Amino acid sequence: MILPFALPRSQSVALAIGVCLLSSSAVAAPIEQPSAAPEAPEPQAWRATPMIPPAQKDLDLTAWVRASEAGHAQANVFFLNYDGVTLKQGGQDNSATNTTVFAEFATTYQPYGAGNKRAASLQAVKSDWAKYDVTITDVRPNGGLYTMCVNSPTNVFGGGVLGVAPLDCNDNMAANIVLAFHSANDQFSAATQATTMSQEIAHAYGLEHVNEPNDIMNPYNAGGDPSFLDNCLNLDGGGNPIQCGAQHSQFCGNNQQNSHQELLWLFGSATPDPTPPTVVITSPKNGDQFPAPATITITAEATDNVGVAEVNLYIDGMNQGAPDSTPPYQWADATFPEGTYCVAAEAKDDEPNSAMSPEVCFTVVKQNEGTTTGPSTTSTSGEPDPTTGELPTTSGGETGNLETGEPEPEPEPEDSDSGNGDEGGLPSPDTSALPPGFGQDGGDEGCGCAQPARPGTAGLALLVMLGLVRRRRRG
């Protein structure tokens, strides 16, 4: 994450491939995506006929394990893989070894890409599943059973298909792998991407398509932000037989499905998480000194018993508006002029619980400041020192900020109001490290620019400059 300038201190098994969420045209990303087009209704699209996979003679049902503590599902952890992966074909799905039961899935998938949409889509998936006792992460678990959703622009089924998954009734085969064909640079909103991911994951637990656009299990991309509805809705097999009828009939009549009730049966209800994250600033260290102007990368470490949702950076008590949702939590190349600064990080989880790190303070000093070898004598008249015959010199910021050998200018009268600072006649702020146009007097804020109400990354430099001028004026 780039910070251009710093803000200073202030049992039967039915397996099928469901090819879902088809689209024939581009759609606009939501307005919160700064690089995307303005928000617009997303066109409705169509779905492909589900594909029945070839018989799998090596399918090992003896691997069936007891249900998770939450419900009937074997695995209640979902790993959203944004980072690319190579899948190989095997006898059954195994997310830990990147093994898929389908030859059609076996290939190398390119990474999703960087940008704000990754974090937004991750949070949207978490929102889709917030009612259920599941864990959703974009970091591969070290062990245990989990379902993996590969998010990649590599589309093995061609244009228009947004997702594909095995249909695993009653979650008989754990550790499924599902696919969502999205990227950081595609024309679909984070909400639409999340709908694709959530639908494909639900297929891996036996949920099938329904013909209601407001339900996540609808096969057509109608835009908006659907959810798992608590209603019995007509199933849409796309001309094919319904595969998981016994699962659905526990909650609805024939040829209907209640997505919400099935997920409660599979996973159980979400339980409150009272434990906040922990977070510390790891770089810089408290008491560090840097020569001015300093370019510093600020790094934090954060952990949570469930998962960290985001980490925010504070400089001198002010939120920089640049949340980082993926470790390492880092803000690179922040530029600091002379001064003392204190930084802290705030970590949040999905509850949301939050915690603030202890402050870490550091100083940015002038080059060679404090390197004088003895007391210096200066003359305000510019005449040679009568004791040495030499012109007056200075060697630091405490005697007027003059270069060695230059005469010190006449001081202003003590009762003069120069308009360049607070009481005490402090010198004007040094704006040599600022971009053109910043640091010029234009009111109480120190420049002729107004601070936007909710700055994005592009507005961060402006906020920083306003703060820098205020800090320098305080001395």
pLDDT tens-place string over residues 348-376:
988 889 999 999 999 999 987 543 333 33
Q: Are residues 56 and 182 in the same domain?
A: yes
Asked if residue 378 belongs to a domain, the reply is: no
pLDDT band at residue 387 under the 50/70/90 scheme: very low
Q: Are residues 122 and 241 in the same domain?
A: yes
pLDDT at 312 over 70: yes
The domain boundary residue, chosen from 267, 294, 321? 267
Residue 412 has phi, psi (to 5 degrees) of -75, 155
Sign of CA dihedral 251, 256, 260, 264: positive
Cα first-last separation, the chain? 30
Name the pTM for this structure.
0.62
Task: Tell me: cis bond preceding 328? Omega within 30 of 0 counts.
Answer: yes
Q: How far apart are CA 292 and CA 439, in angstroms?
A: 17
Q: Are residues 26 and 128 in the same domain?
A: yes
Burial (CB count <10 Å: 0-12, 13-18, 19+), residue 365: middle
Q: Tell me if 332 sits within 8 A of 4, measured CB to CB.
A: no
Q: Are residues 86 and 54 in the same domain?
A: yes
Place of tokens 């024309």: 187
Asked if residue 259 belongs to a domain, the reply is: yes
Asked if residue 191 belongs to a domain, the reply is: yes
The domain boundary residue, chosen from 344, 365, 386? 365
Enclosing H/E stretch for 461: helix 460-473
The domain boundary residue, chosen from 267, 297, 315? 267
Sheet holding 278-283, edge to edge: 278-283, 294-303, 329-336
Q: What percent of the chain has pLDDT over 90?
A: 48
pLDDT at 381 over 50: no
Q: Are residues 192 and 288 in the same domain?
A: no
User: How crowded is residue 403: how many other Cβ atoms within 10 Å of its Cβ?
Assistant: 8
Owning domain of residue 464? 420-475
The pLDDT tens digits for 426-444 are 344 443 333 333 333 333 3
pLDDT at 272: 83
Q: Are residues 235 and 361 in the same domain?
A: no
Instruction: Return the bridge partners of 234, or none.
Output: 256
Asked if residue 407 belongs to a domain, the reply is: no
The pLDDT tens digits for 155-176 are 998 878 899 999 888 888 889 9
Q: Are residues 158 and 236 in the same domain?
A: yes
User: How crowded is residue 81: how many other Cβ atoms within 10 Å of its Cβ?
Assistant: 22
Residue 33 has phi, psi (to 5 degrees) of -90, 105
Place of tokens 């591969």: 140
Least confident of 53-57, 104-108, 274-278, 320-324: 53-57
pLDDT band at residue 42 under the 50/70/90 scheme: low
Q: Are residues 329 and 243 in the same domain?
A: no
Q: How far apart are CA 290 and CA 372, in angstroms?
A: 18
Stretch 310-320: mean pLDDT, rounded? 95
Q: What's the Rg (C-alpha) of the chain?
A: 30
Q: How far apart are CA 442 and CA 278, in angstroms?
A: 42
Sign of CA dihedral 255, 259, 260, 264: positive
pLDDT at 69: 52
pLDDT at 153: 95
Asked if residue 116 belongs to a domain, the reply is: yes
Residue 3 has phi, psi (to 5 degrees) of -110, 100
pLDDT at 11: 42
Name residues whose C-beta falls within 8 Å of residue 282's C-beta, 6 or more positions apart in sequence: 299, 300, 301
Instruction: Enter the tokens of residue 121.
Output: 């889509």
Place of tokens 């199933």: 235
Q: Tell me if 101 sits within 8 A of 92, measured CB to CB.
A: yes
The pairing of strands 108-109 and 289-291 is unpaired
Q: Are residues 260 and 181 in the same domain?
A: yes
Q: For residue 164, give the nearest of 153, 173, 147, 177 by alpha carbon.
A: 177
Q: For residue 99, give the nearest of 41, 8, 176 by alpha carbon.
A: 176
Asked if residue 346 belongs to a domain, the reply is: yes
471, amino acid identity:
R
Enclosing H/E stretch for 466: helix 460-473
The pLDDT tens digits for 8-21 are 443 444 444 544 44
Q: Are residues 132 and 226 in the same domain?
A: yes
Q: Are residues 61 and 128 in the same domain?
A: yes
pLDDT band at residue 39 under the 50/70/90 scheme: low
DSSP-derived 3-state class of residue 56: coil
E strand spans, 170-248: 177-180, 233-234
Q: Are residues 98 and 174 in the same domain?
A: yes
Q: For residue 370, give the nearest of 395, 399, 407 by alpha carbon.
A: 395
The pLDDT tens digits for 260-270 are 999 999 999 98
Asked if residue 415 belongs to a domain, the reply is: no
Asked if residue 390 belongs to a domain, the reply is: no
418, amino acid identity:
S
Angle, helix 116-128 to helix 190-203, in steps of 10 degrees = 50
Q: How many domains does the chain have?
A: 3
pLDDT at 40: 57
Stretch 277-284: mean pLDDT, rounded? 96
Instruction: Enter the tokens of residue 113.
Output: 């890409």
Enclosing H/E stretch for 257: strand 256-257
Q: Tell me if 71 sits within 8 A of 134, measured CB to CB.
A: no
Stretch 369-392: mean pLDDT, rounded? 42
Enclosing H/E stretch for 371: none
Average pLDDT of the chain is 74
Per the model's pLDDT, the better-predicted residue between 23 and 411 turns out to be 411
